């Protein structure tokens, strides 16, 4: 048997030189701060919050978001990660990758408000898988979704509660999210498709 | 003692009649000078520069090599008992296609050839087919049980005139039984062909040469010493009894050393090697393909080279096929559970040609010695392995030394397909086989074969 | 892309590392209240056992079930003799039922390789005769890694009936793949044929002297004790159990010497153990023993193997010669 090469960093597609910036580092920071405030407002504080990032780039985003909330509210917000590989419905369509770790904070998720964090919301299938995965880990009081970029083209009835940037795209375009923790610098770029 | 054999095929006596004569033109006798050979009434009637008699069939043998018909000392024809794997008829066709005019049919059939009646039955089935002399080998021990002697004398006295005895497939492991058998066959000039395998050193599960490959593959090892120890014992028994022992399918360099020593002592030992042990090596087993499962097992290249050397220097007397057909369902098991053996009648000469003649280690006269004269002498056949001379029985094989043959297992005349040579190409192939004056096989579409004649 | 896991040699270092990484997340699943993921829903895995093996079979069965595959156990014991149906016919019959994977255990070396050539489904070798047992080597590597991290440069000693051990054959490959140094120890009668040439080619050490290895320059990081069948005595492989234990058993005294050299030394055994023969009872239960970790890792590793073979594109959907 042969396993495909690991996801990061070797097989991350190179960003083509013609890619355009749609968010730079400051935009990303501002967006996360705003989302933090929205979450606090909606939740009436930071009590019972659990922030879970979806690998790979949802994880550092979750950590940043939790830190932003903690800073405002002055309490530690539990943060973890939720790997959804085993719950995907498109495994047969792509090479098998090593499944990632799931790391739920010590307090668990029962009766908590779970904020799922991902970098790009596209078809909605990842979030569908995340909801299934979450269901087997416990019973949260509520689940909310925060994404850095919503690029449209949903295939399932799923909607984000908190969006960093709505980015209308064509299916031919690719959205590249780069984060300092993984890639050395922050950026969101778009490539491919027809120039607008 | 074997005078009666094949007489039924000699139709009529008297002078050359063009209507049943066969003229072979321009064949190089034993690969040397070219001559025409006129065959009639089952015999060679003229050799030289000849005109075709009126009505004679002519085979243009320009560029072909004429050899005395090949003789296989070691063939399994499976009849009676396993006619799904081979019959005397299908085996005879394969033998004729391989250039053989006589084959020794091993005794490990079901029932075992351990009585005069069983031997005569094999003889008669072979004669009924008529493509090749099928010479029964008698079992050494009753039912190949290894415990008491089979009716060696009655088999020798039978119409089959059995002279070669073997428990092949099993070793005559009991030293006392081997000694008595060697003594008992002396009055009628018999020979014991020994399947040398000490059953305590290599039991029936042993299926891979014991060495790095068997270690890695986790297959039960078949160490060379299991053969060498028996051969060493048997040559001493041959010396002690003053009888003749023949070592079947020699597979190791150690056995060659023992035989070389024994011959130097003047002990009456002869030996055979199979084409597969001359050409194929243990490492073929790495894919666990049972087509390469054979007993004794394929050996490493050092052994293979020693066997070639021994054949060239005469330590090993002859090449024998150990043609061992098996039904597909007996081979398609896990390696250790699959049947031992591989087919070989049709490929023996091409393998020898490619391996030894084209490399210059042997010439065609040597091939006649190791594949016809030698086996006929060891097996006591008077009508085979004879010179290509006037008055001799017309058992002939015409070889095309330049024809490349790519082996196709599916095209075999054998009923079985356990062919380790499938897909390999050899240069040097049988063109025509003439058995007792009749064409038993030819690739020449213009020449009718005996088979075709029977079909009419 | 190969669809099968027949030999540990089929796996590159990257493959092994991917499987072990996946096995970690499978281990997480194993620790949860709901021990089930939907990953292999709709897939059928046949545990095709020609030889009894309760622990390997149940390990694969649990692994399949926790991955939501339909798992069926077929005991084919006795049908492998040359008198019965041929192995090819048996394998093709099962394959014709459109299954996705055959997990095969057979008493004949090479059986899994042969079956893989006859069927369309994936074949996983769950032990073939005295040849290989690749998932055992993976779970052993998993166990070692979870205790000692990377295996590069670690010294693993395998002791026992090497001749008849598929655990040894797979482990020596996987351990080398992960960069460990391996020494194998057995009396000459239980050393596989040709081991000298083999060890030179594949880069492992051999010894007839367990004490010399324990006290050698190269401190031992893990001792892997192999099961020694008492029936081997009648084959002349060793005279008595007592003599075997004195020469090659992991006694308390030997464990103490190992610990003195390396307090973190681990003791492994693939099971089932002959307590008192190849391993002293108190050693099997010592803090250095990771025997139960091995069992627990078995399910996670087999889940990972099933995942890597079955979760991705099914082979028949791939165009001819496609790389995936």
Residues B268 and B221 in one domain: yes
Phi, psi of B351 (to 5 degrees): -65, -45
- Residue A12 belongs to a domain: no
Mean pLDDT over the full length of chain A: 89
The answer to whether chain B touches chain A by having 3 or more C-beta pairs less than 8 angstroms apart is no
Q: What pLDDT is stored for residue C14 in this prediction?
A: 94
Q: How many domains does chain A have?
A: 1
Q: Among A86, A93, A96, whose Cβ lies nearest the Cβ of C308? A: A96
Give contacts of C315 with chain A, Cβ < 8 Å: none
Domains of chain C, each with CATH number or no CATH: 8-133+297-317 (3.40.50.1370), 134-295 (3.40.50.1370)
Residues B139 and B236 in one domain: yes
Predicted confidence (pLDDT) per residue in B126-145, tens digit:
999 999 999 999 999 999 99
Q: What pLDDT is stored for residue B408 in this prediction?
A: 96
Of all residues in chain A, the one with the smallest CA distance to C29 is A102
- Residue A155 belongs to a domain: yes
Model confidence at B207: pLDDT above 50:
yes
Predicted confidence (pLDDT) per residue in A145-172, tens digit:
999 999 999 999 999 999 999 999 999 9
Chain A: closest CA distance from residue C223 (Å):
28
Instruction: Report the CATH number at residue B32.
Output: 2.30.40.10
Place of tokens 């569908």: A128
Token readout for C130 is 């005295």
Model confidence at A6: pLDDT above 70:
no
| CB contact at 8 A, B248 and B195 | yes
pLDDT band for position B50 (cuts 50, 70, 90)? very high
pTM assigned to the model:
0.89
Model confidence at A8: pLDDT above 60:
no
pLDDT band for position A92 (cuts 50, 70, 90)? confident
Give the Cα separation of A51 and A117 in Å (integer): 7
B330 is catalytic: no
Residues B55 and B72 in one domain: no
Give contacts of C314 with chain A, Cβ < 8 Å: 92
Residues B52 and B192 in one domain: no
Please state the length of chain B.
456
Q: Give every residue of chain C whose pLDDT is below 70, as ranges.
A: 1-2, 77-83, 313-324
H or E segment at A31?
Answer: helix A25-43
- Residue A122 belongs to a domain: yes
Instruction: Report the CATH number at residue A67.
Output: 3.40.50.2020
- Residue B310 belongs to a domain: yes
Model confidence at B445: pLDDT above 80:
no
Residues B143 and B177 in one domain: yes
- Determine whether the annotation assigns residue C136 to a binding site: yes
- Residue B416 belongs to a domain: no
Q: Could you tell me which residues come within 8 angstroms of residue C224 by beta carbon, excluding any fewer than 6 positions away?
A: C140, C156, C157, C158, C159, C167, C171, C268, C269, C270
* Chain B residues contacting C via beta carbons under 8 Å: 210-219, 221, 223, 287-289, 328-330, 332-339
- Residue A4 belongs to a domain: no
- Residue B386 belongs to a domain: no
Residues B73 and B54 in one domain: no
Residues B100 and B173 in one domain: yes
Residues B53 and B91 in one domain: no
- Residue B419 belongs to a domain: no
- Residue B252 belongs to a domain: yes
Contact B213 C109 (CB under 8 A): no
* Structural domain harbouring A109: 23-191
Which of the other chains make 3 or more beta carbon contacts under 8 angstroms with chain B? C
* Structural domain harbouring B279: 68-379
- Residue B406 belongs to a domain: no
Chain A: closest CA distance from residue C5 (Å):
6
Q: Which of C121, C119, C131 has its CA nearest to residue C51?
A: C131
- Residue A18 belongs to a domain: no
| CB contact at 8 A, B108 and B431 | no
pLDDT band for position A13 (cuts 50, 70, 90)? low
Give the Cα separation of C128 and C110 in Å (integer): 6
- Determine whether the annotation assigns residue C312 to a binding site: no
Chain A: closest CA distance from residue C214 (Å):
36
Q: How many domains does chain B have?
A: 2
Give contacts of A97 with chain C, Cβ < 8 Å: 18
Chain C: closest CA distance from residue A14 (Å):
19
Average the pLDDT over B290-300 and give the result.
98
Q: Among C25, C67, C314, whose Cβ lies nearest the Cβ of A92? A: C314
- Residue B397 belongs to a domain: yes
- Residue B291 belongs to a domain: yes
- Residue A10 belongs to a domain: no
Average the pLDDT over A111-128 and give the result.
96
| CB contact at 8 A, C30 and C66 | yes
Residues B163 and B38 in one domain: no
Model confidence at A9: pLDDT above 60:
no
Residues B60 and B72 in one domain: no
Task: Select the more confidently predicted residue: C311 or A24.
Answer: A24
Residues B87 and B124 in one domain: yes
Residues B182 and B272 in one domain: yes
Mean pLDDT over the full length of chain B: 94
Give contacts of C195 with chain B, Cβ < 8 Å: 212, 215
Percent above pLDDT 90 for chain B: 92
């Amino acid at each position: 048997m042969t396993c495909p090469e690991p996801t990061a960093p070797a097989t991350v597609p190179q960003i083509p030189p013609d890619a355009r910036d749609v968010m730079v580092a400051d935009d990303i920071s501002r967006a996360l701060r705003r989302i933090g405030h929205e979450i606090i407002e909606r939740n009436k504080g930071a009590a019972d919050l659990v922030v879970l990032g979806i690998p790979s780039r949802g994880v550092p985003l979750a950590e940043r978001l939790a830190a932003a909330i903690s800073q405002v509210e002055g309490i530690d917000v539990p943060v973890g990660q939720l790997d959804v590989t085993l719950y995907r419905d498109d495994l047969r369509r792509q090479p098998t990758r090593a499944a990632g770790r799931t790391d739920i904070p010590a307090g668990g998720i029962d009766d908590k408000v779970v904020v799922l964090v991902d970098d790009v919301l596209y078809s909605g299938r990842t979030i569908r898988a995340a909801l299934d995965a979450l269901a087997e880990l416990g019973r949260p009081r509520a689940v909310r979704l925060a994404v850095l970029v919503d690029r449209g083209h949903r295939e399932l009835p799923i909607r984000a509660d908190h969006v960093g940037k709505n980015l209308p795209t064509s299916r031919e375009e690719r959205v590249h999210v780069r984060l300092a923790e993984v890639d050395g610098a922050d950026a969101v770029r778009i490539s491919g498709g027809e120039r607008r | 003692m074997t005078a009666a054999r094949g007489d039924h095929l000699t139709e009529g006596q008297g002078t050359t009649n063009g209507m049943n004569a066969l003229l072979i033109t321009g064949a190089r006798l034993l690969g040397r000078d070219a001559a025409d050979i006129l065959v009639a009434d089952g015999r060679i009637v003229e050799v030289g520069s000849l005109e075709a008699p009126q009505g004679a069939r002519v085979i243009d043998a320009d560029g072909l090599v004429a050899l005395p018909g090949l003789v296989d000392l070691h063939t399994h024809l499976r009849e009676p008992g396993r006619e799904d794997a081979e019959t005397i008829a299908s085996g005879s066709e394969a033998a004729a296609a391989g250039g053989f005019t006589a084959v020794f049919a091993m005794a490990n059939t079901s029932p075992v050839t351990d009585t005069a009646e069983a031997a005569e039955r094999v003889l008669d089935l072979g004669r009924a087919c008529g493509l090749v002399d099928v010479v029964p080998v008698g079992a050494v021990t009753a039912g190949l049980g290894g415990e008491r002697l089979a009716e060696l004398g009655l088999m020798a006295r039978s119409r089959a005139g059995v002279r070669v005895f073997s428990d092949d497939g099993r070793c005559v492991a009991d030293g006392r039984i081997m000694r008595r058998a060697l003594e008992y066959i002396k009055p009628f000039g018999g020979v014991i062909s020994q399947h040398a395998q000490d059953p305590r050193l290599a039991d029936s599960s042993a299926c891979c040469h014991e060495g790095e490959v068997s270690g890695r593959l986790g297959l039960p090892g078949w160490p060379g010493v299991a053969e060498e120890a028996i051969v060493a014992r048997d040559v001493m028994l041959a010396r002690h009894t003053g009888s003749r022992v023949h070592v079947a399918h020699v597979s190791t360099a150690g056995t060659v050393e023992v035989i070389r020593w024994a011959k130097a002592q003047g002990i009456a030992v002869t030996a055979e090697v199979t084409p597969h042990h001359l050409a194929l090596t243990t490492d073929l087993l790495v894919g666990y393909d049972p087509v390469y499962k054979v007993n004794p097992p394929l050996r490493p290249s050092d052994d293979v080279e020693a066997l070639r050397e021994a054949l060239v220097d005469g330590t090993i007397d002859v090449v024998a096929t150990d043609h061992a057909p098996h039904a597909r369902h007996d081979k398609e098991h896990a390696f250790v559970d699959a049947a031992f053996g591989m087919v070989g009648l049709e490929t023996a000469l091409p393998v020898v040609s490619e391996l030894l003649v084209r490399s210059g280690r042997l010439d065609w006269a040597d091939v006649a010695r190791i594949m016809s004269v030698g086996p006929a002498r060891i097996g006591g056949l008077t009508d085979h392995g004879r010179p290509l001379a006037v008055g001799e029985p017309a058992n002939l094989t015409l070889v095309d030394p330049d024809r490349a043959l790519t082996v196709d297992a599916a095209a075999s005349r054998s009923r079985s397909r356990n062919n380790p040579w499938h897909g390999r190409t050899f240069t040097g192939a049988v063109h025509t086989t003439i058995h007792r004056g009749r064409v038993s096989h030819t690739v020449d579409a213009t020449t009718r074969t005996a088979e075709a004649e029977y079909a009419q | 892309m190969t669809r099968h896991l027949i030999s540990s040699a089929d796996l590159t270092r990257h493959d092994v590392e991917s499987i072990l990484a996946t096995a970690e997340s499978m281990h997480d699943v194993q620790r949860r209240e709901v021990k089930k993921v939907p990953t292999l829903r709709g897939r059928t895995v046949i545990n095709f056992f020609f030889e009894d093996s309760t622990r390997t079979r149940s390990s694969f069965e649990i692994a399949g079930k926790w991955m939501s595959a339909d798992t069926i156990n077929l005991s084919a014991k006795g049908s492998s003799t040359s008198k019965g149906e041929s192995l090819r016919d048996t394998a093709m019959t099962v394959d014709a039922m459109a299954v996705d994977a055959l997990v095969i255990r057979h008493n004949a070396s090479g059986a899994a390789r042969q079956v893989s050539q006859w069927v369309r489904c994936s074949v996983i070798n769950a032990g073939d005769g005295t040849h290989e047992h690749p998932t055992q080597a993976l779970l052993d590597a998993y166990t070692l890694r979870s205790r000692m991290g990377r295996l590069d440069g670690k010294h693993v000693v395998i002791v026992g009936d090497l001749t008849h051990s598929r655990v040894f054959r797979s482990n020596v490959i996987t351990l080398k793949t992960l960069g460990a140094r391996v020494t194998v120890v057995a009396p000459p009668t239980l050393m596989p044929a040709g081991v000298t040439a083999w060890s030179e080619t594949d880069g492992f050490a051999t010894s007839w002297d367990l004490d010399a290895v324990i006290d050698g320059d190269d401190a031992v990081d893990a001792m892997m004790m192999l099961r020694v069948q008492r029936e081997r005595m009648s084959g002349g492989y060793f005279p008595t159990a007592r003599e075997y234990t004195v020469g090659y058993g992991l006694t308390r005294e030997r464990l103490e010497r190992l610990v003195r050299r390396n307090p973190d030394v681990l003791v492994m055994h693939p099971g089932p153990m002959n307590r008192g023969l190849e391993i002293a009872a108190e050693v099997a239960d010592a803090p250095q023993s990771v025997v139960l970790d091995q069992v627990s890792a078995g399910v996670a590793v087999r889940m990972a193997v099933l995942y890597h073979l079955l979760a991705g594109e099914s082979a028949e959907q791939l165009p001819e010669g496609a790389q995936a």
